[in-house]
Structure 1
């Protein structure tokens, strides 16, 4: 079956519950790289057993194929955008011949993005998920400056199933990483990523880190209290307007990348 045959079986409302930005992107991944069609809770699955991943194909290979399909889909989506119009709402600068490229920072790394590809600190990204995140950010076309009205992930629509993912790949990792360190060492690592202190009552430290120009994330850390039986804890908070710029999957991955970068700074 083709992606267009599959998309007819979806609600075509781009609800993103499957983790893809559009119903068509999900359908393309199912048809071309064996994505699990069960990720769409609304799909009419009658007769779709033929689309199960072929036997003998490594899951890693399927994942890589799926990522590449989505990258090509997103590149096609941004190909019609006028970079001169969306640069300012994205917090980006125009670069290149005839201003056909965008430049901005991603966790203190320089991004140069045009309609053919992406350079991260002068090199193609090693992980296709970085490309997906960055193309999704560009595809949003930007919006107003962050309101700095902070909320937990659980407050965002359709996010309940994602809370554990955020804890596993970001919050719990950082709490374990921070536990033996001084607040000064942690803050120095945050500052290296462009972070600014933002103290909060009762917490050991708070810092706002600009993951992307319009995607600040507020990291709040409580050191352990062994006498009280409380382990170290990290809570990530997001600007209330964040879904204007990223879908939930990309948002969680951006927080995971923040954890990765802090781990590198503290190594």
Structure 2
């Protein structure tokens, strides 16, 4: 018989909400046991026989995936891989850039990524040293591969709000990318320039008039990002301002969620 959170709390746990397990209530502990496979042994008030009996029932429902918390990152990676499964790796350089090289006896795509390279093979994506990249970065790259875009950058730059269906993402961009960069580098444009160069940024300040800094980042061969920075001017009441600009072709290569991911990744590298 399967044990739901309610069953476990009502029929097995002592319902004292004593906190001896490290959780505020028996219901909270039951939720962790059912959805995240926390051991019942965390409750010090259960006898060994009860733990053994319930553990057998829990093991059966875990094996069926019943009531388990879904790993959303793993799901996203699975579907991203599915979306790119039919792609011939040898066709990718012409469409998204990079080059085909041989590693461990097989042909893989060597793709520049920020100031490094990744290797894309049929069985997965790895860093240049052979270690795996994060699941979120793998999803990002699989989406780029499957998106179908082939256009080279046009040199026509746009802010996120100029692309369709980005109203909510513009708010996220301000909160999670622009605000942290402003806080980190307000009054310190030299520090921002140093970090930008360290991760492969190319100084374009001379092309941006009143801006104190402008750096071009070649995130992927056909996905450039421009960061423009105006430092604070307290005597005139102006705060620092940061803006990320994207080539107008980017939506052919990435969806809006992926554009947000690369923006946050760039912020993390700079900060």
What count of residue pairs does the alignment treat as equivalent? 205
Q: Where do residues 43-192 of structure 1 align in structure 2 (5 Å cutoff)?
A: 56=32, 57=35, 62=69, 65-96=71-102, 100-122=107-129, 123-125=131-133, 127-181=134-188, 183-192=189-198
Q: Per-residue deviation at 1:261?
A: 0.9
Q: Is 1:241 the counterpart of 2:249 in the alignment?
A: yes
Give ranges in structure 2 of 5+ residues lacking alignment: 1-30, 37-67
1:37 aligns with none
What's the TM-score, normalizing by structure 2? 0.70
> Offset of 1:78 from its aligned partner?
1.7
Give the CA deviation at 1:142: 4.0
Q: CA–CA distance in 1 between the matches of 2:75 and 2:179?
A: 31
Equivalent in 216, 219, 224 of residue 224 of structure 2: 216
Q: Does the 8 A contact of 1:107 with 1:261 survive in 2? A: no
For 2:199, the equivalent position in structure 1 comes to 193
Asked if the contact 1:75–1:116 (Cα under 8 Å) also holds between the matched residues in 2, the reply is no
Cα distance between partner residues in 1 of 2:126 and 2:89: 17
1:227 pairs with 2:239: no
Return 5+ residue gaps in structure 1 as ranges: 1-54
Q: 1:198-236, CA deviations, whole angstroms, 9 ceiling, x for partnerless residues?
A: 221111111111111111111000000101211111001
Q: TM-score, normalised by structure 1?
A: 0.71
8 Å contact from structure 2 (residues 232, 240) kept in 1: yes
In structure 2, what is the Cα distance between the partners aligned to 1:74 and 1:116? 13
Q: Give distance in 2, aligned partners of 1:104 and 1:220.
A: 26
Higher radius of gyration, 1 or 2: 2
- Post-superposition CA distance 1:175-203 (Å, at most 9, x none): 1111142x333223212222212221111
- Matches of 2:270 and 2:183 in 1, distance apart? 12
Query: Within 1, Cα distance between the matches of 2:263 and 2:180?
Result: 11
1:227 and 1:62, CA in 2 relative to 1: closer, same or farther beyond 3 A? farther
